[in-house]
Amino acid sequence: MRELVRKHFRFFLLVGLAALVLRLIFVFAFPAITSDSDIYANIASNWLHHSSYALTEGGQIVPTDIRLPGYPALLAFIFFIARGNHFVPVLLAQVLFDLGTCFLIADLARRLFSHRAAMAAFLLSGLCPFLANYSAAALAETAEIFFTLVALDFAVIGLQDLGLQGPGLQELDSQKLRSPESQPKQPSRMRLLQIWPSCGLAVGVAILFRPDGGLLLISLGICFAWIFLRAIRSHHGVGSIVPAAVLTGIFALLPLLPWTLRNFHTLHEFQALAPRYATDPGEYLAAGFNLWTKTWIADYASVEEVYWNVPGYSIDIKDLPSRAFDSSAQRAKTEQMLNAYNQTKSVSPELDAQFFDLARERIHTHPFRYYMGLPASRIADMWLRPRTGLLPADVRWWEWNDSALWSAVTLALGAINLVYIVGGLCGFFRVRPTAPLVLLALFCAVRSLFLGTLENPEPRYTLEMYPVVIIFFSACFAGRVLSKYGTGTGVEGRSHLAVKI
């Protein structure tokens, strides 16, 4: 990558400056300090000043595990350097992380396709408003994306070292492997000990920022299993694949060990990640209400208007879409339950049991809608909705009740998002299914399927996959020039020759 930057220094300088300016505009014009930001900052401050990973509740410092320690550790370090709990230095640091992500995206495109694709990927990522927007948010996404890309970069290097360039395993059939010259060179033991532990550690650090970073480890596991089965069939390469998988898994889980031991010692519970609903040990959880919302929520608007407002705020039945009721009797029952909630603005165990019974009834009546239709709708909403969650735009953008300016901004961002996704799909169908590309596609598929199971479809959850979209998009600009790794590594054109540029 350094050689490419030196060769096209002016291009990378100008695009890098444009990317920096775009991110600074978001930092100073639209900084996003959310309630989650305050939670992270509170934990970081207590960790820094009281040596306790805890929240301040009623003037008391209470140990917690509702957030993983990666982002609080970053905040504590920056607070220490900046001599105060100021978010501006944090956001500026995240700008640097995000610029690093742009270079990692370009490096992956270079390894997978060509130098032209790498330059296109750098331009697409540097000017991507969605990555830039979240670099101005005091949230863990930007850092997690950076370490996810570090892990993917090492994984692609490792898979290419294993000779996995062609459709699956570089045409590993007995006819082509009879001569020693035709066999892919196996990486040295030292090379294995460099690449895969580094990949695993990067995955582990990504998990420490957000628990859904573990989906990358699952994707790697599926990819390794697929490669292993192909290797068994071809009688080649098993000896390198197994150590690679084991090393990745061990080093990915290693960073979680201190956190798990701390939770066991301090909170007397086994918690290797963070609670699904961010609840402290012994804290009451309205599981029935959550299950009920999952039987009808399909878009982000309902998350803001209903899901996030419980407990603490009144809920108007008019805020619920028609799919929340299967009959007039069910609507009347739901309204009665919401009226009971509005009296105290909390979900009592008795009321939660009613929500649970209603949810089970709806699931039993329409199982396809619950298990297939709604998850698919949530996935589509997270991918296709205009990404204005951190901007002062109306969440119900399609009703055109926002100001003319923000309606135009919403439409523009929606169009840009669509261009990126369509471009990514075009690039995906243009390339050959090599093992590294299968890994990238698997990561998107596994993560998307998981997100479909959530009752709070937030578009930001797809942001970790956006670099992969950009990488595939860059394949559209690679032309017929392939990378140096062989015929199975680049864009499929008329020629099957690989050309190093």
Tally of structural domains, the chain: 2
The pair of three-digit structure tokens given for residue 143, joined into one six-digit string: 């850092």
The yes-or-no verdict on residue 239 having pLDDT over 80 is no
Local confidence band at 238 (pLDDT 50, 70, 90 cut-offs)? low
Q: How far apart, in whole angstroms, are the C-alpha atoms of residue 280 and residue 270?
A: 13
Q: How far apart, in whole angstroms, are the C-alpha atoms of residue 59 and residue 43?
A: 14
User: Minimum mean pLDDT among 62-71, 82-91, 262-271, 476-485: which range?
Assistant: 476-485
- Cα–Cα separations (whole angstroms), residue 42 to 45, 48, 260: 5, 10, 21
Domain boundary among 139, 174, 200: 139
The yes-or-no verdict on residue 463 having pLDDT over 60 is yes
Tens digit of each residue's pLDDT (9 = 90 or more) over 269-307: 999 999 999 888 888 999 999 999 999 999 999 999 999
Higher pLDDT, 70 or 500: 70
Domain boundary among 343, 365, 387: 365
Tens digit of each residue's pLDDT (9 = 90 or more) over 331-373: 999 999 999 999 999 999 999 999 999 999 999 999 999 999 9
Tens digit of each residue's pLDDT (9 = 90 or more) over 26-79: 999 999 999 999 999 999 999 999 999 999 998 899 999 999 999 999 999 999
β partners of residue 60 = 57
Q: What is the pLDDT of residue 173?
A: 33
Q: How far apart, in whole angstroms, are the C-alpha atoms of residue 102 and residue 126?
A: 6
Q: What is the pLDDT of residue 488?
A: 39
Local confidence band at 480 (pLDDT 50, 70, 90 cut-offs)? low
Q: How far apart, in whole angstroms, are the C-alpha atoms of residue 445 and residue 470?
A: 15
The yes-or-no verdict on residue 180 having pLDDT over 70 is no
The pair of three-digit structure tokens given for residue 415, joined into one six-digit string: 């169009």
- Indicate whether 22 belongs to any domain: yes
Question: To the nearest whole number, what is the mean pLDDT of the chain?
Answer: 89
Cα radius of gyration rounded to whole Å, the chain: 24
Tell me, rounded to whole angstroms, the distance of Cα 373 from its chain centroid: 22
- Indicate whether 1 belongs to any domain: yes
- Indicate whether 384 belongs to any domain: no
Q: What is the pLDDT of residue 499?
A: 26
Q: What whole-number percentage of the chain has pLDDT above 90?
A: 77
Written in H, E and C, the secondary structure of 261-298 is HHHHHHCCCCCCCCCCCCCCCCCCCCHHHHHHHHCCCC
Q: What is the pLDDT of residue 235?
A: 59
- Indicate whether 222 belongs to any domain: no
Domain boundary among 307, 338, 365: 365
Q: How far apart, in whole angstroms, are the C-alpha atoms of residue 501 and residue 497?
A: 13
Q: Closest Cα partner for 94 from 153, 152, 13, 20?
A: 20
C-beta separation of 207 from 260 below 8 A: no
Q: Which helix (H) or strand (E) holds 333?
A: helix 328-344
- Indicate whether 5 belongs to any domain: yes
Q: What is the pLDDT averaged over residues 378-390?
A: 95
Tens digit of each residue's pLDDT (9 = 90 or more) over 182-201: 445 556 677 788 899 999 99
The answer for residues whose C-beta is within 8 angstroms of residue 78's C-beta and 6 or more apart is 89, 90, 93
Q: What residues make up the domain containing 43?
A: 1-139
- Indicate whether 295 belongs to any domain: yes
- Indicate whether 92 belongs to any domain: yes
Q: Closest Cα partner for 37 from 81, 88, 80, 96?
A: 88
Q: What is the pLDDT of residue 58?
A: 87
Local confidence band at 176 (pLDDT 50, 70, 90 cut-offs)? very low
Q: Say whether 63 sits in a helix, a strand or coil.
A: strand
C-beta separation of 249 from 217 below 8 A: yes
Q: What is the pLDDT of residue 178?
A: 40
Local confidence band at 482 (pLDDT 50, 70, 90 cut-offs)? very low
Q: How far apart, in whole angstroms, are the C-alpha atoms of residue 197 and residue 195?
A: 6
Q: What is the pLDDT averaged over residues 385-395?
A: 92
Whole-prediction pTM: 0.89
β partners of residue 61 = 56
Higher pLDDT, 208 or 493: 208
- Indicate whether 129 belongs to any domain: yes
